[in-house]
Amino acid sequence: MLALPALAVLALAGPAAGASRLDDVRAKAQAAIERRDPVSAEVMLRSAIKGGASEDALRAHLGEALMAEGDRAEARKVLEGGAFAPGTEALGWRVRGQIALAGGDLRSAANAFDTALKANPRDSDLWVAIASLRFSGGEQLQSIEAADRAVALDPKNARALAFRGLLIREQYGLAAALPWFEAGLKVRPDDPALLGEYAATLGDMGDYRAMLIVCRKLAQVDPKNPRPAFLQAVLAARAGETDLARTILQRTGTAFRDMPAAVLLTGVLEYRAGNINVAVEQFDRLVRMQPDNLEARQMLLRALARQGSDPLITERFDGDAAQPWAAPYTLRLVGASWRRMGNKARAAALLARAEHPVAHGPAPLATEFGTSVLAGAYADAPNQAQTAVPYIRALLKEGRKDEAQAAADRLRDANPGAAEAHLLAGDVRILRGEAAGALADYQNGAAIRFNEPVLRRMDAALRALGRTADADAMTSRFLAQNPQSLVAMKLLAAAWASGPNRDAYGAVSRALAARGQPSPAQ
């Protein structure tokens, strides 16, 4: 018997001894996963199974170890290969749900989490996973509720504290999120995910010295983590150190290839370095990923103009130039392209608009198709954003504002936890001249997620109602929470440019100038 592997006695020992040994293996495997060594956990678990331990008894833990290694296919195979022993069902179904969520299968993730909840409704980690699912599905309010439940169940759960911090950052601002990340780091000071979010938040607040300290700590505890390099590349880019930023960014390899912020950064750096073809490629990717991102569209237009691609400019951006919200910069570039291509009449019209810009109210974004094309898809799924939003835009384009409002309100009521649904309903009301009703929708959205797009809308609605003091106070509070927000600075500068707040206008103008941004003339 002594020649047998130690774990083989599991099959021959009595029930109590076997259960105790299983608990010991599970605890050691869990500890290995917690210290970011899932490979050791896998080896330990497979050795136990080979030595006679029940595969069902260790199936959930083995699946968790494999998922932590990044081998989702093998983890799924293990988890679906049999049953979960009593007491491990919650873990097994939670990991199955997390694998489905990572693969974008939200329905399967929800079903797995529901099954896990039946097994253990007091699992704090499970509620963190549910919060992540709800956030991915656009249910931000429900995500907040789930994260709160996770923290209440285990106030020292670092994952729960970190996720609540992320939601607080969206809901209230950068400064409000810091205590949550700091509380999580007190529990798990070497947690890479927590360190990464803490560093990113410090950087967004402009506290670059602290950000670099945290980045160095992250690089020490997780040398293969590409996030410190990305954050340092962002910092170098903000400082105008283009070559340094490009060198640092290259260290991240393909880790952030499909992250919009990284695509934008790459495009900007290549543009600065004079690699215009590469910049065009990056900005084009970003526009295809986010077709309604006006900043990305303008960056692509600028790069194409420097490339001298007049046919592409007129083909892709004449529609943008035709919109009432077209910036003078867009009008000048598209007009110049038309002039070089020989269409003098079109060029003259655009260049005249650029020289004499006219203030305009809100306008809907353009849509490619009309209601006759979009109505069928909308009728099949009126409560889903991917069908409702294009249909609402088409209704607005055709002047059918009452129908657009009804559709927007229906989408909002069907998705009360999604901030964007409230914003859409408010946007239609603004277009109908109902600033008070729009403000109510925007406030409901802001209670869930208060970011720069919400700030713009609420500021405009308050000023349309004559509540300038309230608008100034709200935007100032936002700037206090997000001290690097150019949007907040510009809104305040515009509000104070022609008023009695000369000292405040001077301060915000200097802050904008330090960031290379113009401010309205007083």
Determine the average pLDDT of the residues in 24-51.
94
Domain boundary among 101, 121, 141: 121
Looking at the predicted structure, is the pLDDT value of residue 5 above 80? no
Buried b (16+ CB within 10 A) or exposed e, 139-177: bbbbbbbbbebbbebbeebbbbbbbbbbbbbbbbbbeeb
Residue 406 vs residues 97, 358, 366, 409, 465: alpha-carbon distances, Å: 36, 31, 20, 5, 23
Looking at the predicted structure, is the pLDDT value of residue 124 above 60? yes
pTM: 0.86
Looking at the predicted structure, is the pLDDT value of residue 30 above 80? yes
Looking at the predicted structure, is the pLDDT value of residue 499 above 80? no
Considering the domain architecture, whether residues 107 and 18 belong to the same structural domain is answered as: yes
What's CA 505's distance to the chain center, in Å?
Answer: 32
> Residue 19: what pLDDT?
63
The per-residue DSSP string of 186-232 comes to: HH-TT-HHHHHHHHHHHHHHT-HHHHHHHHHHHHHH-TT-SHHHHHH
- pLDDT one-digit tens code per residue, 428-479: 999 999 999 999 999 999 999 999 999 999 999 999 999 999 999 999 999 9
Considering the domain architecture, whether residues 334 and 409 belong to the same structural domain is answered as: no
Considering the domain architecture, whether residues 427 and 444 belong to the same structural domain is answered as: yes
Determine the average pLDDT of the residues in 64-83.
96
Q: Is the Cβ–Cβ distance between 25 and 48 less than 8 Å? A: yes
Considering the domain architecture, whether residues 500 and 481 belong to the same structural domain is answered as: yes
Residue 409 forms part of a structural domain: yes
- pLDDT one-digit tens code per residue, 163-206: 999 999 999 999 999 999 999 999 999 999 999 999 999 999 99
Residue 33 forms part of a structural domain: yes
The per-residue DSSP string of 449-479 comes to: ---HHHHHHHHHHHHHTT-HHHHHHHHHHHH
Share of the chain above pLDDT 70, in %: 96
The Cα 200–Cα 219 span in angstroms is 14
Determine the average pLDDT of the residues in 103-110.
96
> Residue 91: what pLDDT?
97
Considering the domain architecture, whether residues 18 and 83 belong to the same structural domain is answered as: yes
- Residue 91, domain extent: 1-121
Confidence class for position 521, pLDDT limits 50, 70, 90: low
Residue 211 forms part of a structural domain: no
Considering the domain architecture, whether residues 13 and 87 belong to the same structural domain is answered as: yes
> Residue 4: what pLDDT?
39
Residue 314 CB: number of other CB atoms within 10 A?
A: 19
The Cα 356–Cα 373 span in angstroms is 37
Residue 139 forms part of a structural domain: no
Determine the average pLDDT of the residues in 33-54.
94
Considering the domain architecture, whether residues 350 and 373 belong to the same structural domain is answered as: no
Considering the domain architecture, whether residues 484 and 384 belong to the same structural domain is answered as: no
Give the mean pLDDT of the chain.
Answer: 92
Looking at the predicted structure, is the pLDDT value of residue 15 above 70? no
Residue with tokens 């919109």: 323
Residue 313 forms part of a structural domain: yes
Residue 332 forms part of a structural domain: yes
Determine the average pLDDT of the residues in 352-377.
84
The Cα 130–Cα 500 span in angstroms is 50
Looking at the predicted structure, is the pLDDT value of residue 274 above 60? yes
Q: SS3 sequence, 113-160?
A: HHHHHHHCCCCHHHHHHHHHHHHHCCCHHHHHHHHHHHHHHCCCCHHH
Considering the domain architecture, whether residues 342 and 373 belong to the same structural domain is answered as: no
- pLDDT one-digit tens code per residue, 372-429: 999 999 999 999 999 999 999 999 999 999 999 999 999 999 999 999 999 999 999 9
Determine the average pLDDT of the residues in 228-236.
95
Determine the average pLDDT of the residues in 248-268.
94
Residue 209 forms part of a structural domain: no
Considering the domain architecture, whether residues 426 and 490 belong to the same structural domain is answered as: no
Considering the domain architecture, whether residues 410 and 349 belong to the same structural domain is answered as: no
Domain count, the chain: 4
Determine the average pLDDT of the residues in 89-117.
97
- pLDDT one-digit tens code per residue, 283-307: 999 999 999 898 999 999 999 999 9
Considering the domain architecture, whether residues 116 and 2 belong to the same structural domain is answered as: yes
Domain boundary among 388, 420, 449: 449
The Cα 479–Cα 251 span in angstroms is 33
Residue 150 forms part of a structural domain: no
Kind and range of the H or E run holding 378: helix 371-380
**CATH number of the domain within which 407 lies:** 1.25.40.10
Domain boundary among 104, 121, 138: 121
Q: Is the Cβ–Cβ distance between 236 and 213 less than 8 Å? A: no
Confidence class for position 18, pLDDT limits 50, 70, 90: low
